């Protein structure tokens, strides 16, 4: 029996690494000599660094950087096993959880720390970058990040503008003479699963600003700043950053990465699966186990379980998906590569109990064990033998 375990984290409950351990134990309860490959997954959001570092035998790097409110924070990023590729979740340096709810204000929050992480990785020899967008507390169009990389954004008095989304309206000129000397040798791949433009009714400020603490009046001002910034970039660099698909992601970081760093913005799970070379890991596999906290209609929109299932489908490998909750909408996944879906909940309990990491671990192990007892029984019957004890 050869099994590939490739699950996303059950957010707020258990990491993909610990969840994989539980599933592995459940399989071993039945098939003691099973050959198991674990491949922690992420879709470009939370858990991406941990998953890729684990999958490639890389290392985690801790670095003190400028947080979203300009205070110092300890951020973690990863360097993959080859020592050449850095993987960064922007939320580690400018994430919403880093800002107390009563201080959330995208007019003042900055992405400067993201640029500091990039500089640190460059200094450690990295020239390739994998960036996970999402979860930011910012709306500065990545200007803070770019300032940390040496770009200068000047006001009408030829003075450097300050930090935060409110400063975008003051930008009149861009100076690139002092950018990091090694930046030209770097390539960026960005996991981005939204398609919002930079500004306007569907842009960064209007769609994502309110959840970051912006009032409607603030949203209008932030949107004006994003539009001004886009117009300055178009005039100064002859680059249209507004209409880039995904420009509005992470408060406009999508525009900064694509327009200034020539990054490729692509589906998060497709990017992750390509990096971990998942195709090679499918060879000779009997079953794939995938899953996440909840399987629903959103899962079919390109999240991790669907991504791994579609690869397995090409190799005619059955895919079992496990989750804390499985909605009726998840039945659509049966036509997209997932053979069957199962909830790991086996008794009535409160949400708090269900989210407990030990409960989740035990439920994953138990459910997996029962499923593989069934698989074993069917296989033995087909072989003409006795059913499992």
**How many CB atoms are located within 10 Å of the residue 148 CB?**
22
Place of tokens 């990863």: 78
Place of tokens 């004006």: 224
Give 247's DSSP letter: T
pLDDT the model gives residue 99: 96
Q: Is the CB of residue 379 less than 8 Å from the CB of residue 30?
A: no
* CB crowding 217-235: b at 16 or more within 10 Å, else e: ebbebbbebbbbbbebbee
Question: pLDDT averaged over the chain?
Answer: 93
How far is 1 from 378, CA to CA, in rounded Å? Answer: 14
269, pLDDT greater than 90 = no
Domains in the chain, ordered, with CATH?
2-39+281-382 (3.40.50.10350), 48-269 (3.90.1510.10)
pLDDT digits (tens, 9 = 90+) for 352-366: 888 899 999 999 999
pLDDT the model gives residue 386: 54
296, pLDDT greater than 90 = no
pLDDT the model gives residue 388: 45
How far is 296 from 308, CA to CA, in rounded Å? Answer: 16
The closest of 382, 388, 376, 386 to 1, measured between CA atoms, is 376
DSSP 301-354: GT-HHHHHHHHHHHTT--EEEEEEEE-GGGGGGGGTT--EEEE---S---HHHH
How far is 359 from 18, CA to CA, in rounded Å? Answer: 12
Give 252's DSSP letter: G
**Residue 321 C-beta-side C-alpha neighbours within 13 Å:** 34
The closest of 110, 98, 210, 94 to 166, measured between CA atoms, is 110
- Report, as an integer, the average pLDDT of 4-18: 89
**Residue 103 C-beta-side C-alpha neighbours within 13 Å:** 12
**How many CB atoms are located within 10 Å of the residue 190 CB?**
27
How far is 114 from 67, CA to CA, in rounded Å? Answer: 9
Which residues, in sequence order, are bridge partners of residue 65?
Answer: 73
249, pLDDT greater than 80 = yes
pLDDT the model gives residue 49: 93
Q: Residue 330 — very low, low, confident or very high, per pLDDT cuts 50/70/90?
A: confident
Name the 3-class secondary structure at 388.
coil
């Amino acid at each position: 029996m050869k099994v590939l375990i490739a699950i996303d984290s059950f957010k707020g409950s258990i990491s993909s690494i610990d969840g994989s351990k539980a599933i592995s134990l459940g399989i071993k309860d039945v098939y003691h000599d099973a050959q198991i490959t674990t491949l922690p997954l992420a879709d470009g959001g939370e858990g991406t660094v941990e998953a890729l570092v684990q999958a490639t035998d890389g290392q985690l790097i801790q670095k003190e950087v400028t947080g979203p409110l300009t205070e110092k924070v300890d951020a973690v990023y990863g360097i993959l096993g080859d020592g050449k590729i850095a993987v960064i979740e922007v939320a580690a340096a400018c994430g919403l959880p880093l800002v107390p709810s009563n201080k959330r204000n995208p007019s003042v929050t900055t992405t400067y720390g993201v640029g500091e992480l990039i500089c640190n990785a460059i200094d450690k020899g990295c020239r390739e970058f994998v960036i996970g967008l999402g979860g930011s507390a910012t709306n500065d169009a990545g200007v803070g990040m770019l300032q940390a990389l040496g770009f200068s954004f000047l006001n009408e008095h030829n003075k450097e503008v300050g930090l935060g989304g409110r400063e975008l309206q003051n930008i009149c000129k861009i100076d690139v003479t002092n950018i990091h000397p090694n930046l030209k040798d770097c390539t960026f791949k960005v996991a981005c699963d939204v398609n919002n433009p930079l500004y306007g009714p569907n842009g960064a400020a209007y769609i994502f600003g309110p959840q970051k603490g912006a009032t409607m009046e603030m949203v209008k001002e932030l949107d004006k700043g994003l539009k001004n910034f886009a117009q300055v970039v178009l005039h100064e660099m002859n680059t249209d950053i507004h209409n880039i698909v995904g420009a509005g992601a992470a408060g406009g970081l999508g525009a900064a990465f694509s327009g200034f760093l020539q990054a490729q913005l692509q589906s998060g799970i497709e990017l992750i699966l390509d990096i971990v070379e998942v195709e090679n890991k499918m060879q000779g596999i009997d079953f794939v186990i995938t899953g996440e906290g909840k399987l629903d209609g959103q899962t079919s929109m390109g999240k991790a379980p669907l991504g791994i299932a579609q690869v397995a489908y090409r190799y005619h490998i059955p895919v079992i998906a496990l989750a804390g909750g499985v909605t009726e909408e998840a039945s659509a996944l049966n036509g997209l590569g997932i053979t069957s879906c199962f909830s790991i909940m086996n008794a009535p309990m409160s949400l708090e109990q269900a989210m407990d990491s030990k409960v989740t671990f035990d439920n994953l192990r138990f459910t997996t064990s029962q499923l593989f007892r069934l698989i074993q029984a069917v296989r033995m019957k087909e072989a003409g033998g006795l059913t499992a004890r």
